[in-house]
Amino acid sequence: MNTALKSYNPIIKPDILAALQREGVILRQKGRAFWASCPLHSEKTPSFKVDPERQTFYCFGCRRHGDVIAFVMERHGLTFREALTYLGIENSRIDYVQVRKNKERRALIGSFRAWEKERRDELATLLRACRQVIASRKPPLSETELEALALLQGEIDYLEYLYDILCNRDDRDKYELFKEELGYGE
Ligand SMILES: [Zn+2]
């Protein structure tokens, strides 16, 4: 399960300063930051600030902000995907799919953990209720009652089997059960 989180593969972006220079933005360094007249709105005094460490920009005039991808999206009216292509980010399609898959996996892990706890509590409650029914039936019992109790005992055995998986087995077994009960594919 944890390998799904570890395999997260961030997009490798081009340097924001180099990209801005290619766009014709004239940057002046002040301390650790760079400043320019904002290329996204019309202005005379520079209020467009670039943080080279974080690889982000922020405009105090128009409040537009973000990373290099957000910048070209704003500047050229591109979609996220178009911006990746524009910036020549390699395997942009694969990376984009990967980002979505990672998001889905994280969501899946979240629902797995929630299900694990809920199902365990639910099974404990069910088992308690079933055992109380068995304990409350005292002989003499009719044939119908005996049959019903035998069925109930069968149900208890099955619930105990599930409960044991959720209490004592490892994540792999629990996850198999999760997929089976909730109908998730691989
Ligand atoms: Zn601006």
Q: With beta carbons less than 8 A apart as the criterion, state whether 50 and 20 touch.
A: yes
Are 97 and 174 within one domain?
yes
What distance in angstroms lies between residue 99's CA and the mean position of ligand 1's atoms?
A: 29
Strand-strand pairing, 56-59 and 65-66: antiparallel
168: CA distance to ligand 1 center in Å?
Answer: 58
Distance 46 CA to ligand 1 centre (A): 9
pLDDT score for 85 = 86
Distance of CA 172 from the midpoint of ligand 1 (Å): 51
- Asked if residue 30 is part of any domain, the answer here is yes
Residue 126 lies in a domain: yes
Instruction: Determine the structural domain holding residue 161 and report its residue range.
Output: 93-182
Interval between CA 35 and ligand 1 midpoint (Å):
11
Same domain, 107 and 59: no
Strand ranges across the sheet with 65-66: 28-30, 33-36, 48-51, 56-59, 65-66
The verdict on 113 and 32 lying in the same domain is no
What spacing in Å lies between the alpha carbon of 97 and ligand 1's midpoint? 31
Q: How far apart are CA 59 and CA 66, in angstroms?
A: 10
Does any domain span residue 128? yes
Boundary of a domain, candidates 89, 111, 145 = 89
How many angstroms from the chain centroid is the CA of residue 155? 36
**What per-residue confidence (pLDDT) applies to 157?**
92
Tokens of 24: 């014709």
Query: Looking at the structure, do residues 72 and 97 belong to the same domain, yes or no?
Result: no
Say how many Å lie between the CA of residue 178 and the centre of ligand 1: 50
Indicate whether 132 and 72 sit together in one domain.
Answer: no
Beta carbons of 1 and 173 less than 8 angstroms apart: no
- Asked whether residue 60 is assigned to any structural domain, the reply reads yes
- How much distance in Å is there from the Cα of 52 to the middle of ligand 1? 18
Whether residue 165 sits in one domain with residue 116? yes
Q: If you measure from the C-alpha of residue 59 to the centroid of ligand 1, how many angstroms do you get, rounded to a whole number?
A: 5
Domain boundary among 46, 73, 89: 89
At residue 91, the pLDDT reads 57
Token pair 């984009």: residue: 96
Within 13 Å, how many C-alpha atoms sit on residue 142's CB side?
3
Ligand 1 centroid – CA 89 distance (Å)? 25
Per-residue pLDDT of the chain (186 residues; tens, 9 = 90+): 444 444 455 667 899 999 999 999 999 999 999 999 999 999 889 999 999 999 999 999 999 999 999 999 999 999 888 898 899 886 555 566 777 888 888 888 999 999 999 999 999 999 999 999 999 988 888 999 999 999 999 999 999 999 999 999 999 999 999 988 888 765
The confidence score (pLDDT) of residue 5 equals: 45
Cα 93 to averaged position of ligand 1 atoms, centre (Å): 30
Task: Indicate the pTM of the whole model.
Answer: 0.48
Number of domain units in the chain: 2
Q: Do 73 and 132 share a structural domain?
A: no
Does 174 share its domain with 131?
yes
Strand partners, 59: 48
Quick one: 20 and 66 in the same domain?
Answer: yes
CATH number of the domain residue 48 falls in: 3.90.580.10
Say whether both 59 and 98 belong to one domain.
no
Task: Give me ligand 1 centre to Cα 65, in Å.
Answer: 9
